Amino acid sequence: MDPNILRFLLLLFVINLGFQLVRRFREGFMADLPHNLLLSADAALCGYALSSPERLTSIWSWLGIGIFVGAVLIPGILALLTQFAMGKARWDLATHLLSIKQVFAPSREGRRQLEHVARLRKAHAGHVEEIERDLLSEISRAADPAGKRLMQETLLELLAFSGQWERCLALHERMVQEGMTRLSRPTLAVALIRASLESRDAVRIWAFYRELQKFDPADPTVSSALLSSEIMLLAAYGYSDQLERALSPVHRSHPVFPVSSKRYWLGLSHLQEGNLEKASGYLQFPPALARENPILDRLARELDLRGTEKLASPTSDLEKELERMASQVPVRFAQVRGPKPPIATGLFLGGMLVAFFAQSWLGESDDLWTLYQLGANFRALSVFEEPWRLVMAMFLHAGLIHLLLNGLMMFMFGRILEVHFGFLRTMAVFVFSGITGNIASALIYRQGLSVGASSTVFGMIGAVLMMFVIARDLWHPVWRKKQIQNLVFLLLLNLLLGFSMSMIDNAAHIGGFLGGTFLGWFFLVFGSTGAWRRWVLRGLGIVACLLVILSVVQVVRHQGKARLTPMSWRQGGYEISMTAPVFWQAGVESLQNPMCKLMPTVSVNQAELPEGSRTEAEVIEQYLVQHQAQGKKDGLTLLERRLLPGWTEVEYSFTFEKTPGNEKIFIKVEDRMLWVLRFVYDRRCGPSVQPFIGSVADSFRTQRFTR
């Protein structure tokens, strides 16, 4: 493996382990002593491998990497798979995954997670007593008001989930008496509307619905909560025809309303209308559906047995409100598809993969000519001369590990951002934070090139942080705090890596973070109210998409072309200057295309001619004879000789250290000076040299200077 990659991985592991150990010391190092000692030993081992170049490529490096994979990476992957299994209510699978995780990383937290999954499994079957008992115990011991309120809200939703309506409403009354002025999240409003509806309390139903309407309707979680509440209201007032039309087909699950919920609310609506036979048909769940949602099955059977009481007739204003719901709910229900897939995140990741395949097809991922053709951010020119590079550079990556690291962070946090920002605003954050990061890189470093989605990733992290800070009421406080800690950890980790390794572009990271943070604030504050403001935000997203499309068009137009830039040096009493492709680099009295490994790509030989009668043709011929004699050992073979205006051009082929190459030399005599401009390149780098040889030779100039 490349030593630079090994150094990067080991440094990444050391910093990661350092942060983990600090957190574990704060939480109690002795609680999980064996695992904590293993992590400490691995941090020491990785640091030892980093301490010298010899150890970097030794068994110590691989041992440090292996321990990290087993003790940190595999448990992290298992934790993600466990969350997926729990989301699908696959409790057996979640338990098995957590048990395997305990083998790799035995910890107190892992044991608590296993207990938590066991409780959730019981709750899904309707046995919530254990969870309720634990919550009541924690509430009684809580000293922090915010923590106590959080646990009370969790208990409130649990009571509504299990059908204990009166206790749910009583707990809410107690929380109001203790100082709760408003509901902190839309799911609480839905739970209280449900409890009030089952208790036949119309006043409370509408009061909680008004509370729900105070949340931002543009947020997908709020719009789903509003839709759920309006369907419940229509069912409670007997709008069965409208619900039949909205929820059809009943046997097909919906992201917001599964089949069991559809049947329950249709059954209630027909009960309210007096159609007992049809109501009973919906409320008698088949066995498979009863196993899928045992709590709702129990509530449906109870409702079918006891019947229901009609709510008090609505006032004229409320009747108009219900008519509005009845006309809009069928359309909105068809439009709501649950959490929308992260299209912007997926497109951006797809663009990164397509760019990487293009890099591999045209050359190699770290090939400068390939990167130049595909739009890398060459800092010396891109801001003003080829601005489309500021966009394309964020899709290119210098190697597979670079791509995987950025892609993983994009996948993890891009989905969170897009759920709440939507497609256009997320695209605006991605593209414009990437541009600001690339501008910062070009202005600070001036030379060289930068590629990668790191600036975009940092911009995304900044926007997500703003979302957690400004729209704090949308999330569970404990979860929000943990996500903020994760984001800050990632920021510090990447900044430390950037300051530790020169190949990492911290200017792009910081510039992207500032750009994304500003856009997150701008979208959440400026765009939170007013239709015209929301159109401004959509406009930014559309502009971002157009910039990507136009930049791709520019890449296609510039295939095989390169912008030339002046280069010069002093040699033998002369100032030598020429224009060369921007991705060539100045060496010692030469220019080097970094792709060419044989020798300097462009060099200049000069010789002052003695006084005599030799003609220019004789001088050139003598030089060529000597040059070919010197190149015999490399198999120098004449391919072509031509006379050009001001130059004699000669081309050879040769083999140097088993590598076939070409040499093209331009010779002229000027003011009793013999000038030889040599282009040497191997076959692999020919496409990045051959098209520019004529332009470079034509621009060759010399001027004597005095010291």
pLDDT band at 380 (very low <50, low <70, confident <90, very high): low
Output the CA–CA distances (angstroms, integers) from residue 281 to 228, 253, 641, in the order listed.
22, 18, 95
Average pLDDT over residues 451-476: 84
This prediction has a pTM of 0.64
Output the CA–CA distances (angstroms, integers) from residue 254 to 236, 248, 654, 687, in the order listed.
21, 10, 70, 55
| Mean pLDDT computed over every residue of the chain | 83
Output the CA–CA distances (angstroms, integers) from residue 523 to 342, 409, 418, 673, in the order listed.
18, 22, 13, 66
Question: What whole-number distance in Å separates Cα of residue 557 and Cα of residue 373?
Answer: 10
Instruction: Please tell me whether residues 552 and 568 are part of one structural domain.
Output: no
Average pLDDT over residues 51-73: 82
Q: What is the pLDDT of residue 429?
A: 92
Q: What is the pLDDT of residue 431?
A: 93
Question: What whole-number distance in Å separates Cα of residue 100 and Cα of residue 488?
Answer: 29
Q: Model confidence over 206-239: pLDDT tens digits?
A: 999 998 888 877 676 788 888 889 999 999 898 8
Number of Cβ within a 10 Å radius of residue 388: 19
CATH number at residue 388: 1.20.1540.10
Q: Which of 509, 551, 603, 688 does the annotation list as catalytic? A: 509
Query: CB under 8 Å to 632, separation ≥6 — which residues?
Result: none
Average pLDDT over residues 418-428: 86
Q: What is the pLDDT of residue 630?
A: 85
In this predicted model, which residue has the larger pLDDT, 254 or 391?
Answer: 391
Question: What whole-number distance in Å separates Cα of residue 315 and Cα of residue 604?
Answer: 95
Instruction: Please tell me whether residues 153 and 115 are part of one structural domain.
Output: no
Any domain includes 621: yes
Instruction: Please tell me whether residues 392 and 533 are part of one structural domain.
Output: yes
Question: What whole-number distance in Å separates Cα of residue 43 and Cα of residue 386?
Answer: 44
Please give the single-letter amino acid code of residue 310: K
Average pLDDT over residues 512-532: 81
Any domain includes 459: yes
346-381: burial string, b at 16+ Cβ within 10 Å, e else: ebbbebbeebbebbeeebebbbbbbbbbbbbbbbbe
Q: Model confidence over 106-157: pLDDT tens digits?
A: 877 778 778 778 877 777 776 777 778 878 888 888 777 777 887 888 888 8
pLDDT at residue 340 greater than cutoff 70:
no
Three-state SS string over 36-81 comes to HHHHHHHHHHHHHHHCCHHHHCCHHHHHHHHHHHHHHHHHHHHHHH
Main-chain dihedrals φ then ψ at residue 206, nearest 5 degrees: -70, -30
Sheet of 590-592, strand order: 585-586, 590-592, 602-608, 673-682, 659-670, 647-656, 637-644
- Cis peptide before 3, with omega less than 30 degrees from 0? no
Instruction: Please tell me whether residues 159 and 260 are part of one structural domain.
Output: yes
Is 627 an active-site residue? no
Any domain includes 128: no
**Range in 30-44, 173-187, 437-451, 475-489 the model is least confident about:** 475-489
Question: What whole-number distance in Å separates Cα of residue 582 and Cα of residue 442?
Answer: 14
Q: What is the pLDDT of residue 528?
A: 57
Q: What is the pLDDT of residue 453?
A: 87
pLDDT at residue 312 greater than cutoff 60:
yes
Query: CB under 8 Å to 87, separation ≥6 — which residues?
Result: none
Instruction: Please tell me whether residues 443 and 496 are part of one structural domain.
Output: yes
pLDDT band at 365 (very low <50, low <70, confident <90, very high): low
Both tokens of 87, joined, read: 């989301």
Any domain includes 495: yes
Token match 């298992």: residue?
Answer: 78
CATH number at residue 581: 3.40.1000.10
pLDDT band at 548 (very low <50, low <70, confident <90, very high): very high
Q: What is the pLDDT of residue 550?
A: 92
Residue 261 contacts residue 296 (beta carbons within 8 Å): yes
Q: What distance, in Å, lies between the first and last C-alpha atoms of the chain?
A: 49
Chosen domain end from 292, 313, 335 = 335
Instruction: Please tell me whether residues 425 and 488 are part of one structural domain.
Output: yes
Domain of residue 588 covers 564-704
Sequence-ordered alpha helix ranges (H) in 336-453: 343-362, 368-374, 389-392, 400-445
Q: Which of 260, 365, 450, 454 does the annotation list as catalytic? A: 454
Q: What is the pLDDT of residue 595?
A: 73
Please give the single-letter amino acid code of residue 265: W
DSSP annotation of 268: H
Of all residues in the chain, the percent with pLDDT exceeding 90 is 12
Instruction: Please tell me whether residues 311 and 377 are part of one structural domain.
Output: no
Average pLDDT over residues 651-679: 88
Output the CA–CA distances (angstroms, integers) from residue 236 to 279, 305, 445, in the order listed.
13, 17, 66
pLDDT at residue 640 greater than cutoff 70:
yes
Q: Is 602 helix (H, G, I), strand (E, B) or coil?
A: strand
Q: Which of 15, 33, 14 is nearest to 25 (CA)?
A: 33
Main-chain dihedrals φ then ψ at residue 612, nearest 5 degrees: 170, -175
pLDDT band at 54 (very low <50, low <70, confident <90, very high): confident
180-200: burial string, b at 16+ Cβ within 10 Å, e else: beebbbbbbbbbbbbbbbbee
Instruction: Please tell me whether residues 551 and 638 are part of one structural domain.
Output: no
Chosen domain end from 312, 335, 358 = 335
pLDDT at residue 255 greater than cutoff 80:
no
Q: What is the pLDDT of residue 529?
A: 59
Q: Which of 429, 407, 437, 461 is nearest to 512 (CA)?
A: 437
Q: What is the pLDDT of residue 543?
A: 92
Q: What is the pLDDT of residue 560?
A: 66
- Longest alpha-carbon distance in the chain: 124
Count up the domains in the chain and report the number: 4
User: Would you state the torsion angle of the CA atoms of residues 49, 507, 564, 652, taken in this order, to the nearest 10 degrees?
Assistant: 0
Q: What is the pLDDT of residue 23?
A: 73
- β-strand partners of 450: 377
Main-chain dihedrals φ then ψ at residue 667, nearest 5 degrees: -125, 140
> What is the C-alpha R_g of the chain?
35
Is 402 an active-site residue? no
The whole-angstrom distance between residue 105's C-alpha and the CA centroid of its chain comes to 27
Main-chain dihedrals φ then ψ at residue 282, nearest 5 degrees: -80, -35
Question: What whole-number distance in Å separates Cα of residue 229 and Cα of residue 619?
Answer: 95
Instruction: Please tell me whether residues 365 and 321 are part of one structural domain.
Output: no
Give me the helix-helix angle, 343-362 and 400-445, nearest 10°.
90
Please give the single-letter amino acid code of residue 442: A
Q: Model confidence over 9-41: pLDDT tens digits?
A: 777 787 778 877 877 777 677 777 788 888 888
Question: What whole-number distance in Å separates Cα of residue 207 and Cα of residue 229?
Answer: 12
Average pLDDT over residues 630-658: 85
Instruction: Please tell me whether residues 534 and 423 are part of one structural domain.
Output: yes
Q: Model confidence over 264-279: pLDDT tens digits?
A: 989 989 988 888 888 8
Any domain includes 136: no
Query: CB under 8 Å to 152, separation ≥6 — which residues?
Result: 139, 171, 175
- Listing DSSP states for 451-498 in one string gives -SSHHHHHHHHHHHHHHHHHTGGGS-HHHHHHHHHHHHHHHHHHHHHH
pLDDT band at 422 (very low <50, low <70, confident <90, very high): confident
Chosen domain end from 287, 306, 335 = 335
Any domain includes 130: no
Instruction: Please tell me whether residues 549 and 659 are part of one structural domain.
Output: no
**Range in 336-340, 351-355, 449-453, 575-579 the model is least confident about:** 336-340
Any domain includes 129: no
Residue 135 contacts residue 150 (beta carbons within 8 Å): no
Question: What whole-number distance in Å separates Cα of residue 649 and Cα of residue 640?
Answer: 8
Any domain includes 127: no
pLDDT band at 79 (very low <50, low <70, confident <90, very high): confident
Instruction: Please tell me whether residues 484 and 355 are part of one structural domain.
Output: yes
Output the CA–CA distances (angstroms, integers) from residue 235 to 197, 209, 224, 310, 323, in the order listed.
10, 15, 17, 11, 13
Q: What is the pLDDT of residue 261?
A: 87
